[in-house]
Amino acid sequence: MLNHLLRYSERLQAEPGFKPKSVRWSAVLDPSGRLVGVVPIGDVQAKKNQGRSFPNCPDLSQAELVAGSGGRCHFLVETAEVVALLYSKKTADDPKAMKRVASKHAFFTDLVRQAAARVPSLAAIAACMGNPKDVEQLRERLTSHAAAASDKVCFQVGLEGAVVVDRDDWHDWWRVYRRTLRPSEDAAGPRVRCLLTGESVQPVPTHPKIEGLADVGGSGMGTVLIGFDKPAFASYGLEQSHNAPMSEETANAYRSALNDLIRNHSKRLVGARVAYWFKNTVPPADDPVALLLAESPEQEERSADRAAWDLLGAIRSGTRPDLAGNQYYALTLSGAGGRVMVRDWMEGAFPDLMEKVNLWFEDLAIVHRDGQGLAPPPKFLAVLAATVREIKEISPPMVASAWRAALRAGPIPISMMTQVVRRTTLDALAGEAPNHAAFGLLKAHHVRKQRRDGGGQMADMKPYLNEEHPEPAYHCGRLMAAYAALQRAALGDVGAGVMQRYYGAASTTPALVLGRLARTSQHHLGKLDPGLAYWFEQQLSEIWSRLGAGAPGALTLEQQSLFALGYYQQLADMRTKKSDKTTHEEAHDV
């Protein structure tokens, strides 16, 4: 995984001491250093402007920031609190915190002064920061714009001038300056082999933090992928990152790769993030993972499953050799206790990924609840949501398991099965419309189980009703749907009807319930006109004939899922408007 991240970082031209940062405000100066104004940058029309991203902002590592006698900060781009002494309420209430911020402000000012002596374009910034009145005016302008203390600030000279951090004339000075912050070779200790490159290196004392995982359990200040802050994490008397030695360049490379993937190529799925990329560039319209997530704008006019089949056909026919030799890489990440949790790592050939995505859509395919064709292929997040009542209940391990099932055609986890059966039962008892994704997931479980066991019964589980299904539990579910439809045809909407009163018990102990419903059905049949009553009698007789010795006494979890599928597919079948079923309009509204 780390080696592939290292290769990915080559696309970014990542370099230690530089890092992409988003900036909200630009302080506009005239050539003499006088403040002209403060302007917002980024998407200023957005409800919450995230600022403009600059790819090569100067950056100090955490170890560099905390070293030295005084407070240190970053160069050219910093928070409004550090640049303009715009204290947050928390800082203003703490004299020690105010002193730390003042020390960082002085460090920022001195950095700009040193740099301006070698880089003339920074002279205006040095003049502004060296004048307390200009700093005070900058603070007032930021306050009038309702800037937060944590908002980042940069500088530009003239309204039409480029933002200074976007220039490259200061880069060489910054590289030289950073070398002065490093300990001497003797003080740093012996050289060792880099864990990734195998080269003899001076290991970086601590690894840089990963950003962008705060919404999935990570820290807003950054989350550690590789760290040894506790004795239990160290071995053989080694300290800190000597347990996994890497050069600064290598550690910065994997950090830059992960940060870019999380920021630009990941999707949050409740408690985890899935990040993925390809060895060679794939056009957005041909991205199978985007099809799975159903969020690619290029796919709006095409059904996701149809687009997946078309693309796989093009690869197999040889018309897309650019994709045939490609590779994919996928990470599932979350945060816990200040550390990055790598929930899963997958890699493989692009055609194999394409086949697995197609299989995912095929296995999930289920008849629409109204009986009119197949339901639309669900988004991956909708499949996850089908397992719970509230989406926040989905755990990161479940996300990782389901994601692997989709990308590797693995089995549907039994934990998901348990929750889906519970969910479908609750929906039935509450009288809610059946969830397509939930029943598609139940079907996929059985299809994949049969495929894993050799595929001898693969024809048993279909998107539509299978009247020849060998399992009694399936036909018990069919009976439940038929009795509910019969009651509705005879009595109309009676509130707590057959479904609300009996579905839960019938799905676990059908023998105790279905006999009672059979007796009650005679009363309902007597209320129908003869033609419709005859049709229902034929339906019930056909289903009962499939049970042979009768309904089973108790159902396992697997059988309960078959009960649910039989119920759903029978319900959809009875709602299908086919002239060969009945000429009675009442039978259509079941």
pLDDT of residue 188: 57
Q: Which of 240, 261, 282 is the last residue of a domain?
A: 261
Residues 163 and 235 in one domain: no
Domain termination site, one of 144, 161, 180: 180
What pLDDT sits at residue 302? 53
Q: In this structure, is residue 438 part of a structural domain?
A: no
Q: What does the alpha-carbon distance between residue 54 and residue 21 come to, in Å, rounded to a whole number?
A: 6
Rg (CA), the chain: 32
Pairs from 42-50 (Cβ < 8 Å, separation ≥ 24): 49/24, 50/22, 50/24
Same domain, 130 and 168: yes
| Same domain (yes/no): 231, 299 | no
On whether residue 108 sits in a domain, the answer given is yes
Output the pLDDT for position 496: 64
For residues 101 and 209, membership in a common domain is answered with no
For residue 385, being part of any structural domain is answered with no
Residue 168: the pLDDT is: 93
> Do residue 245 and residue 270 come from a single domain?
no
Same domain, 176 and 194: no
pTM to 2 decimal places: 0.80
> For 55-64, b where at least 16 C-beta lie within 10 A, e where not — what string?
ebbbbbbebb
Q: Does one domain contain both 312 and 225?
A: no
Domain that holds residue 223: 184-261
* CA distance to 51, 89, 131, 153, 293, per residue, from 86 (Å): 18, 10, 16, 11, 42
Q: Which amino acid is at 325?
A: G
Q: How distant, in Å, are the alpha carbons of 190, 356, 461 from that of 384?
A: 50, 18, 22
Identify the domain boundary among 245, 261, 277. Answer: 261
- 400 is a domain residue: no
In a domain, 576, yes or no: yes
- Pair (89, 168) in one structural domain: yes
Q: Are 244 and 120 found together in one domain? A: no
Among candidate residues 556, 567, 565, the one with its CA nearest the CA of residue 440 = 565
Residue 106 lies in a domain: yes
Q: Is residue 447 part of a domain?
A: no
Q: DSSP for 454-496?
A: TSTTGGGS-SS--TT-S-HHHHHHHHHHHHHHHHHHHH---SS
Same domain, 29 and 145: yes
pLDDT of residue 391: 86
Mean pLDDT by groups of 10 residues along the chain of 590 residues: 93 88 95 94 88 93 77 94 96 94 95 96 96 96 95 91 92 93 65 90 89 93 89 84 89 93 93 94 89 62 73 87 91 93 95 93 94 90 90 90 94 92 91 92 94 69 93 95 90 76 93 91 89 91 90 94 96 70 43
Q: Which of 227, 449, 248 is nearest to 340 (CA)?
A: 227
What digits encode the pLDDT tens for the residues 437-493?
Answer: 999 999 999 999 988 887 655 568 899 999 999 999 999 999 999 999 999 888 887
Q: How many domains does the chain have?
A: 4
b/e code 1-39 from CB counts within 10 Å (16+ = b): ebebbbebbeeeebbbbbbbbbbbbbbbbeeebebeebe
> Do 31 and 156 lie in a common domain?
yes
Phi-psi region of 267 (alpha: psi -120 to 50; beta: other; left: phi over 0): beta
Residue 252 domain-assigned (yes or no): yes
Do 232 and 275 share a domain, yes or no? no
87: left (phi over 0), alpha (psi -120 to 50) or beta: beta
Q: pLDDT of 291-331, one tens digit each?
A: 888 754 444 445 777 888 888 888 888 888 888 889 999 99
Q: And the tokens for 558? A: 């697997």
